[in-house]
Structure 1
Amino acid sequence: MSNLRVLDLVIIALYLAAMIAVGAWFARKNDSAEQYSSASGLIPGWAIGMSIYATFLSSNTFLGVPGKAFGTNWNAFVFSISMPLAAWVATRYFVPFYRSTGEISAYTHLEHRFGSWARTYAVVCFLLTQLARIGSIFFGIALTLQALTGFSMEWIMLITGSCIIVYTVLGGIEAVIWTEVVQGVVKTFGALLILYLIVTNMPGGVSNIVAIGQAQHKFSLGGFAPDFTTSTFWVVLLYGFFINLNNFGVDQNYVQRYHTATSAKQAAKSIWLCVLMYVPASLLFFVIGSALFAYYQVHPELIEAVKLKVAAEKLPLTATASQLAQAAAQLQPADYGDKVMPHFMVTKIPPGFVGLIVSAILSAAMSTISSGMNASATVFTVDIYQRYFRPGLNVKQTMRSLHVGTVLVGLLGMGVGIAMIGVKSVLDVWWELSGIFAAGMLGLFLLGIISRQTRNAEALTATIIGVLVIVWLTLSPNLPESLAAFRNPLHKSMVIVVGTLTIFLLGLLLTRLRQRRTAPLVPEEVLTQSVH
């Protein structure tokens, strides 16, 4: 704990204790599955909006976005620009649909439309997405706390994960939402504090940050050419629209919150409040990344410690000092962007403030992980355990299943986070995994809601072909040179776009072909009469 002062430790400990206390407080009210999973539909819209905002503002945003801006530019901000359009679609079509069904699981209606296979497929995709999200967030928080405490990343994930599991199991969705309201405020304040400390430590202040950023093209949103093989403006815009549509319209994390609102109107308002808060907040984190880049450009000697640490992680323990220096010299900003903000916190933030910022990072992780665990436990109980193993559970058995599911997802998420140790960019990993798992799920949902004439066989055929396309898009870039002609030429962010459209459009095509094939033939005498 040599890098943390006593005051910082006290602040962090008080924050963790407060979160567990909140869970214990709300545990008194959790006497039914409805209360545990939907808070009996009594949460105001503004609180739900703050909760969704806090879920979006995860440690992937808190650490990954500044790291991305430091290593490249503002191209990833286009993801946030796409949010209003996805929010409009969700509030117009998805929210009224879910509120009308009254089903707590987002995936139950897929069985009504296409059969049990569709529900199971969507549940598997959702759970894999949640494990990827939770794992990447655990990894992000461990990356920061390792620099501050000196503890191994594995132990950090186990300790923080245990605290999150305890308050999520105790409190249910109501505790998750109200703690996220607080966490949203803490995160935003922490980000503003970091930016203030960077600017005050920067020679020349804001004007110098802007000058360096412009000279190094750090504010670019990406190329505007119609090129889908690189991360252009259009690639990120399409990715952002589809992944945000998946979040607002399909993801159980968000659908479950719609049921906690007092009305459909309040649920829709919560989405727009999230958008109005998240877009400027995400811009704030890109500004932090660019400001950090400018700061270390002015103080290049300070970045050497970061580069040496990253190089040491890539080399064997027997590497010599000259080999380490040579490897560090070859690193590019994108290789160590995620490490920069933790280094700045360790070296430049005064006592007490570090504790506040670490609490903000913890809150960023806790909000998303806790909501993910609660939603996954609900899906596990409703769509797997009750559906296939124990139908007709009583209240006590249902609550036990929700608790066990929460713990299980938390432990598996920690395992995924530990497996991610050593990746270059936590934001890149999360974007890639979420695009793969969400693509098929979103395509099937759109097909089920928009095309009421599509039947089980057409949906199943389209999904099978869509999954094969997603597998090819994902794995083909790793093909050997002898099979280079069969590689996917598109950027990896296009997986969710192509995968979703393949299932949706192919399902429509198969439906149209079946309708033409089964359409009644017009008798010849009717045709003759119509001619005369």
Structure 2
Amino acid sequence: MNSLDLIVFFIYIGGIALFGGSFFKKSRTSSSYTMGNNDIPGWVVTMSIFATFVSSISYLALPGNAYQSNWNALAFSLSLPIASLIAVKYFVPLYRKINSPSAYTYMEQRFGAWARIYVSLCYLLTQLMRIGTILYLLALTLNAIVGWDMVTIIIFTGLVVSIYSMLGGITAVLWTDAIQGIILIVGAVVCVGFILFNMPEGPGQVFEIAAENDKFGLGSFSLSLTEPTFWVVLVYGIFINLQNYGIDQNYVQRYMASKSDKEARKSALIGGLIYLPISAVFLFIGTSLFAYYHSAATLPIELQDIDKGDSVFPHFIVNALPAGITGLMIASIFAAGMSTISTSFNSSATVFLTDYYNKYFKKTASDKEGMRVLYISSAIISVIGIVIAIAMINVKSALDAWWKLSSIFSGGMLGLLLLGLFSKTKNVKGALIGVLVGILVIVWMSLSGTLFGEDSLGASFHTYLTIVFGTAAIFLVGFLISIFNKKTDEIYEN
């Protein structure tokens, strides 16, 4: 990075921090801090939902996947219209009616306090690992590009995001998310244009080379459950995105920050749908990079190992883009990561205040006390996230395993929500037994390969199907028990 790139990058970081902090006066109460002041434009909430879908992981991984193989990952994005429509019809009206800052109030209303604790704890654990993972990846990227110390990058990034998200509350998070979403889209489009018009034989050469190497394929359409076929990725995407829309505090808080029910439904629908074409742009970047480098006489030595697909985009940013554009692209990567981290900080603090402090420590806490809890919990969450990110530098494999397990266990969250929506009785017994069975299924599928060998039945299914089977087990077991207990169980009145 030369001086111009550094100027562009630091102007972005400083500008976002100052812009987010400028909402301090609008976030002085716990209600405004967690749900806003009912004055946030619909387009801002829409872009914030889109930015929450995109992290630095997808910003780098999607081009890497397309470079290595094909557009199989697009099947995940194609699940979004299905998940978005279900969210608009069922999830958004449900949470707007409950009118709570927490997504997990409904769980207690439906099944009791244990369900609220279980689901909110799953959420908090996964968010901590999410913060740590993204901070680590941002530091890894910048370290590879400019050689800065990773610990310094992690601490600096974590502090910047925590400060503006704490000062400005959900309003700052939504507005900065919207700006960051625009920046990452602009960065991706500029990158595509640069590649196309720098091909030796013109833009058409990208499509010629890609077609010759089957780079636009969507993967196998077989019915195999052991490989990431188109159908496996599509079904996985439906379940993951239903979980995002239906039980993830990050999304539910955005429904509540919308001005009206109509605006909330519109933002949920469009915010998710925007991700579909933009993910296609990310995949096209990977395909274009394959054509760009394979149109040369010699492939750069750093990219001769096809397994290093995730490094191809950073390599291109550093070595091919002109001064200033490199800074913009690095800012785009940080935009994707920072929007996700700021969301996790604010939403996790909201869950701690609403689901724990106000429930079990001080039910009559004043607004001043509530703000103190939000600030302290945000600070603690940011520190833990920074520590996890630093730990990943040396013990990444162990933390990768925990990140995988924590993500898989969150499948129980969606199963409970679906059971609550479609079971007509209170069904507390069915929900509890369903969760226990679902966890056993998840553990069986996750650990079968380690405990019983790769040829065991549990290990024969692709890992993407773990959330599918775990969620289905919770719902089906709980629903069947509700049918058998219909005569003795109380009817749930929504």
Question: What is the TM-score normalised by the length of structure 2?
Answer: 0.93
Look up the match of 1:57. 54
Match of 1:199 among 192, 196, 199: 196
Look up the match of 2:102. 105
Aligned counterparts of 1:103 and 1:170: Cα–Cα separation in 2? 22
Aligned counterparts of 2:404 and 2:224: Cα–Cα separation in 1? 19
User: Which structure 2 segments of 5+ residues have no match?
Assistant: none
Q: CA deviation at 1:82?
A: 0.5
CA contact (8 A) 2:449 2:456 kept: no
CA contact (8 A) 2:129 2:403 kept: no
Q: CA deviation at 1:394?
A: 1.2
Q: Using a 3 Å threshold, how does the CA distance of structure 1 residues 373 and 444 change in structure 2: closer, same or farther?
A: same
Aligned counterparts of 2:105 and 2:2: Cα–Cα separation in 1? 50
Deviations 1:280-334 (A, max 9, x none): 1110000001111222223474531356xxxxxxxxxxxxxxxxxxxxxxx4x2x
Give 1:212-223 correspondences, 5 Å limit.
Answer: 212-223=209-220
Amino acid at match of 2:364: G
Look up the match of 2:235. 238
User: Which structure 1 segments of 5+ residues have no match?
Assistant: 308-330, 520-532
Amino acid at match of 2:443: V
Higher alpha-carbon deviation: 345-354 or 500-509:
345-354
Look up the match of 1:44. 41
Q: Using a 3 Å threshold, how does the CA distance of structure 1 residues 201 and 178 change in structure 2: closer, same or farther?
A: same
Deviations 1:254-286 (A, max 9, x none): 100111111111000001221332111110000
Aligned counterparts of 1:206 and 1:410: Cα–Cα separation in 2? 44
Look up the match of 2:472. 501
Aligned counterparts of 2:98 and 2:315: Cα–Cα separation in 1? 49
Amino acid at match of 1:338: D
Residue 433 of structure 2 is aligned to residue 457 of structure 1: no
Secondary structure of the structure 2 residue equivalent to 1:230 = coil
Amino acid at match of 2:294: Q
Q: CA deviation at 1:44?
A: 2.4
Residue 266 of structure 2 is aligned to residue 269 of structure 1: yes
Look up the match of 1:251. 248
Q: CA deviation at 1:352?
A: 1.2
Higher alpha-carbon deviation: 130-139 or 401-410:
130-139
Secondary structure of the structure 1 residue equivalent to 2:421 = helix
Aligned counterparts of 2:325 and 2:477: Cα–Cα separation in 1? 54
Q: CA deviation at 1:518?
A: 8.3
Q: CA deviation at 1:225?
A: 1.3
Aligned counterparts of 1:411 and 1:498: Cα–Cα separation in 2? 35
Look up the match of 1:512. 483
Secondary structure of the structure 2 residue equivalent to 1:195 = helix
Aligned counterparts of 1:152 and 1:299: Cα–Cα separation in 2? 33
Residue 487 of structure 2 is aligned to residue 490 of structure 1: no
Aligned counterparts of 1:458 and 1:56: Cα–Cα separation in 2? 32
Look up the match of 1:384. 356
Q: Using a 3 Å threshold, how does the CA distance of structure 1 residues 477 and 171 change in structure 2: closer, same or farther?
A: same
Amino acid at match of 1:365: G
Deviations 1:200-220 (A, max 9, x none): 332223322222222222211
Match of 1:396 among 352, 368, 380: 368
Residue 179 of structure 2 is aligned to residue 182 of structure 1: yes
Secondary structure of the structure 2 residue equivalent to 1:205 = coil
Give 1:393-432 correspondences, 5 Å limit.
Answer: 393-421=365-393, 432=404
Give 1:22-421 correspondences, 5 Å limit.
Answer: 22-299=19-296, 301-306=298-303, 331=305, 333=306, 335-421=307-393
CA contact (8 A) 1:129 1:433 kept: no
CA contact (8 A) 1:22 1:171 kept: no
Higher alpha-carbon deviation: 274-283 or 497-506:
274-283
Q: Using a 3 Å threshold, how does the CA distance of structure 1 residues 505 and 45 change in structure 2: closer, same or farther?
A: same
Amino acid at match of 1:138: L
Q: CA deviation at 1:452?
A: 2.6
CA contact (8 A) 2:65 2:310 kept: yes
Secondary structure of the structure 1 residue equivalent to 2:220 = coil
Q: Using a 3 Å threshold, how does the CA distance of structure 1 residues 401 and 150 change in structure 2: closer, same or farther?
A: same
Secondary structure of the structure 1 residue equivalent to 2:26 = coil
Higher alpha-carbon deviation: 255-264 or 204-213:
204-213
Amino acid at match of 2:466: V
Aligned counterparts of 1:406 and 1:205: Cα–Cα separation in 2? 50
Aligned counterparts of 2:428 and 2:11: Cα–Cα separation in 1? 54
Higher alpha-carbon deviation: 472-481 or 262-271:
472-481
Q: CA deviation at 1:486?
A: 4.8
Q: CA deviation at 1:423?
A: 10
Amino acid at match of 1:229: T
Q: CA deviation at 1:57?
A: 2.0
Deviations 1:346-381 (A, max 9, x none): 111111111111111111111111011111110011
Deviations 1:458-513 (A, max 9, x none): 111110111111111111122354x8435431100011111111000110111112
Secondary structure of the structure 2 residue equivalent to 1:221 = coil
CA contact (8 A) 1:239 1:494 kept: yes
Aligned counterparts of 2:339 and 2:434: Cα–Cα separation in 1? 36
Q: CA deviation at 1:415?
A: 3.4
Q: Using a 3 Å threshold, how does the CA distance of structure 1 residues 247 and 41 change in structure 2: closer, same or farther?
A: same
Aligned length in residues: 488
CA contact (8 A) 1:243 1:438 kept: no
Q: Using a 3 Å threshold, how does the CA distance of structure 1 residues 378 and 297 change in structure 2: closer, same or farther?
A: same
CA contact (8 A) 1:74 1:218 kept: yes
Aligned counterparts of 1:411 and 1:297: Cα–Cα separation in 2? 44
Amino acid at match of 1:114: F
Amino acid at match of 2:465: M
Percent sequence identity over aligned pairs = 44
CA contact (8 A) 1:476 1:487 kept: yes
Aligned counterparts of 1:394 and 1:281: Cα–Cα separation in 2? 44
Give 1:445-484 correspondences, 5 Å limit.
Answer: 445-481=417-453, 484=455
CA contact (8 A) 2:84 2:269 kept: yes
Aligned counterparts of 1:135 and 1:162: Cα–Cα separation in 2? 13
Secondary structure of the structure 2 residue equivalent to 1:154 = helix
Amino acid at match of 1:455: N
Q: Using a 3 Å threshold, how does the CA distance of structure 1 residues 145 and 52 change in structure 2: closer, same or farther?
A: same
Secondary structure of the structure 1 residue equivalent to 2:184 = helix
